[in-house]
Each structure stands twice: as structure tokens, then as C-alpha cells.
Amino acid sequence: MNFKQNNNNEQKMDEFNIKHHLNTSLDQKGISVSEDLINRTLEAINKQGKTKQEEDHRPLITKIRLLMKVAAAVLVFMVGLSAIHLFNPSGLKQKSVNEEAKSFTLDGKNDIAISDRAGELDNEIATKEAQEIDDQVNDTLGSWDNGTVEEDNKKEPGTNELTSLSNYELSFTDITAIKEEEVKSITVKSHDKDIRVQLKEPVDIEKFYSVMENYRFKYDEADDSTVEYTIKLVGKDNESHIIIGLYTITVDNTHRDVASHSKYSVLDTSMLIDDLKEFLASYDN
């Protein structure tokens, strides 16, 4: 074997003649492109092009239905969250006991001359009443829990309906719920390079959306602690905070007092990360 030098750079010296040997070995194994593979690929490209055209002509009603399903899912989530807050046992018990304690303190002020024994009796009554309140709360929670279980059992087909949402492909506008024309500012931060760019000009916002609209997002439940980019979108009365990790995209939307949290994945996260890198590079002067 001869030493082969690709250029004068010692660093690049291919002393094992790797290229030659790799090609020889791959030739021996018959790893090369056949006419059949080229034709199959061209066929797949044409087929994909036709499918894309059909998708582009998908009636508006389908997209509206999809958005309605997403909105319904968010609403169910919000109602569930509110119900948990409303029936939170510790919160209710604490509030009731505090109110009771307050009234007993007032009673104590009015009956300042009552003996210690009377004070003890007051405590006993307070404890008993608190116990009754606890029981009432538990009964309420018990019946609520049972109802939920029954409802859950009844709603199994509905659950499937929600699961089927993960089959839908959503656009960037769908997942952020902020249209391009409503955006006031966009802040993009690269955690790898520590670059932060804020966009306010419509032309920049349009450019950013044109990058993100190349991707389709699907619901995903995978946990991902990695952070490559963080993006903050500020609209008229809503905000969207997006974390792009190596595997999933986490989106927190707030619209006035209503908040939602969702996770998505894209087909090719690496490409998305690369595209964002190129996008930021164009602003990094």
C-alpha cells in the first residue's frame, strides 16, 4: 500500500488509502446504485409530488375540523385542570378550617369571660365540625371520583379519538395558534452557540415562518430534556414558548388567562435544527 496524500495538509493524509480500500470492499459487496433503484426513487419522488399536490388541495373544511378537534382536546384538558383545582381536598379543607377558626376566634372575643373548660368545649366543637366538613369533602370527592371513573369507562371511544390526533400533521401556525400577520415579535435563541435574535420586522417574521412552515408536527408524548433552540412568539394577546430539543418540540401557549402545554415531533428534527442554524447564521453579523 502506498501512502496517499490528498493535499499538503498533514492532517488530511490518508496513510491507509482508506477511500481506495472502502471502494474496493464496497465494489466486492456490490454496493452500487442500480438503474432499478434510480427508477424506483424517481417513481417515489413523482408519487410523493402528486400526494403533496392532493394534500395542498385538501378542502378547507378538513383543516377546520382538525383545528376544532385540537381546540376540543385543549378545552377538555383545561376543564380537567380547573376541576382538579376546584375539588382539591387540601385547599378546600384548609379554607374551611381557616374560616371556622376565624369564627371561633371571634366567638372567643365576645365571650372573653368564659372559663377554660368552656374554651376546651369550643375546641371540641371546632374539631367535631372540622371533622364533619372533612367527611362532607370526602363524600363529595368520592362521588366525583366515581363519576369520573364511570365517565372514563364510558368515554373509551373518545380516548381513541384523542389518540388518533397523533396521526394528524399540524403546521407551525396550528401548534402555536398565532398567525404570521398577528406576530409582534419573535425571539430565537440557540443554546448551543449562545446566539439570540429578536425579529420585529414583517419581512423577518415572514422569513422565519417560511422556514418553520416547511415542517409538519405530530403529537408526541416522549420525554426530552435536551434543548437546542428556544423560541418565543408574541402575538396581540397571546404568547407561545417553544423548546426545540433533539427529539421533541414542547409548546406552551397562553391566550389571556388560558394556558396549554403540548409536545410534538417532526419527521426530521436534525433538518429543522440545521435550518434554524442557517436562519440564525443569516442574522449573526
Partner 1 sequence: MQKDMQNDNSQYSPAYEIEDLIRQYGNDVLRIAYMYVKDIHTAEDIFQEVFIKVNNKLSTFGGYSSIKTWIVRITINTCKDYLKSAYKRRVVPMMEYQEDAIISDSDYEQIEKQDTSDLIKKSVLSLPAKYKDVVICIYFQDMSIAEAAKALNIAEGTVKSRLSRARSKLKNMLEGRVSDEF
Contacting positions for partner 1 (CB under 8 A): 1, 3, 6-7, 9, 11-12, 14-16, 18-26, 28-29, 31-33, 37-38, 40-42, 44-46, 48-49, 214, 247, 268-271, 274-275, 277-278, 281
209 phi/psi in degrees, rounded to 5: -60, -35
Q: What's the min distance (Å) between Cβ of 228 and partner 1?
A: 11
d(CA 107, CA 115): 13
Minimum gap (Å) between residue 179 Cβ and partner 1: 22
Name which of 46 and 198 has its Cβ closer to partner 1: 46
What's the min distance (Å) between Cβ of 195 and partner 1? 14
Closer residue to partner 1 in complex, CB, 135/274: 274
Residue number with CB closer to partner 1 (206 or 278): 278
- Nearest approach in angstroms of CB 123 to partner 1 is 60
User: Measured from the CB atom, is 34 or 115 closer to partner 1?
Assistant: 34
Instruction: Tell the smallest beta-carbon distance from residue 133 to partner 1 (Å).
Output: 50
Nearer to partner 1, 191 or 277 (CB): 277
The side-by-side arrangement of strands in the sheet containing 249-255 is 195-199, 185-190, 229-234, 238-244, 249-255, 258-266, 217-219
